[in-house]
Amino acid sequence: MSLRSTSSRYGVGAQVFHWLTVVLVLAAYVLSKGDSYSLYSAAADGIRRMHETLGMLVFIVVVLRLLWRLIDRTPATETMPGWMAAAANFVQFALYALLIAIPATAVLGTWLEGLPVTFPGFDIAPQIAQAHALGQLIIVVHTTLGDVILWVAGVHAAAALFHHFYLSLRHANQVEVPLTLVLSEACSPTICAFGHDGQLAKHGMDPKN
């Protein structure tokens, strides 16, 4: 498998950026569970530093991922209805916007409250004037966006699986595929082996999103 993508499948570079983003987002979300302000207690210092470090890594990976897209190619996908293509583009845009907005609101809200952004071994003091009420509001927005991205990612994954197991089977057989067959396919070892990125790209599933 090559580093860069081909016309039929995504390369190692695109796949690494995709799965690294997924792992970092999920890890940061797990560490953020509970009262957001409890993260600023002395007892939660280690967890807070890990959470904020993961958030910054998400931002860095997303920037690198966007730069990689400028030099990488996108594998060809099967033709799909216009509304489906528009929905896929909207979800892709929403995911990238959230991946940038979530760490940005975390830093902004933290600094507005007069608190440093913390990393293992060092802190970055506030670089803007304190505005406690506005900072609290932005932290609430940050927390909400953290929940929203999981819902958007879930819709994205469900749509990708639907396209792979239903539309591709119907196209191959040129007949209506019963939903029960789709569900049985989803429970088969095929999905457990979810590493066939060439097939995913062929059927319109974009591992870069």
Q: Which domain holds residue 183?
A: 12-202
Q: Tell me, what's the pLDDT at 103?
A: 94
- Dist. CA 167–CA 162, nearest whole Å: 7
Residue range 45-89, pLDDT digits in tens: 888 899 999 999 999 999 999 999 998 888 776 677 788 788 888
Span between the terminal Cα atoms of the chain, in Å: 20
Which residue did the predictor score with more confidence, 209 or 118?
A: 118
Q: Is residue 1 part of a domain?
A: no
The enclosing H or E element of 7 equals: none
The number of folded domains in the chain is 1
Q: Is residue 133 part of a domain?
A: yes
Q: Average of pLDDT values for 27-34?
A: 82
Percent of the chain with pLDDT over 90: 43
Residue with tokens 């239903």: 166
The enclosing H or E element of 97 equals: helix 82-112
Closest CA to 185 of 198, 174, 170: 170
Q: Is 117 helix (H, G, I), strand (E, B) or coil?
A: strand
Q: Is residue 209 part of a domain?
A: no
Q: Is residue 207 part of a domain?
A: no
Alpha carbons within 13 A on the beta-carbon side of 98? 21
Taking the complete model, does pTM exceed 0.85, yes or no?
no
Phi first, then psi, for residue 22 (nearest 5°) are: -60, -50
Q: Is residue 150 part of a domain?
A: yes
Q: Which CATH number belongs to the domain containing residue 70 in this structure?
A: 1.20.950
Stretch among 88-92, 110-114, 186-190 having the lowest mean pLDDT? 186-190
Q: Is residue 123 part of a domain?
A: yes
Q: Is residue 56 part of a domain?
A: yes
Q: Is residue 6 part of a domain?
A: no
Which residue did the predictor score with more confidence, 80 or 206?
A: 80
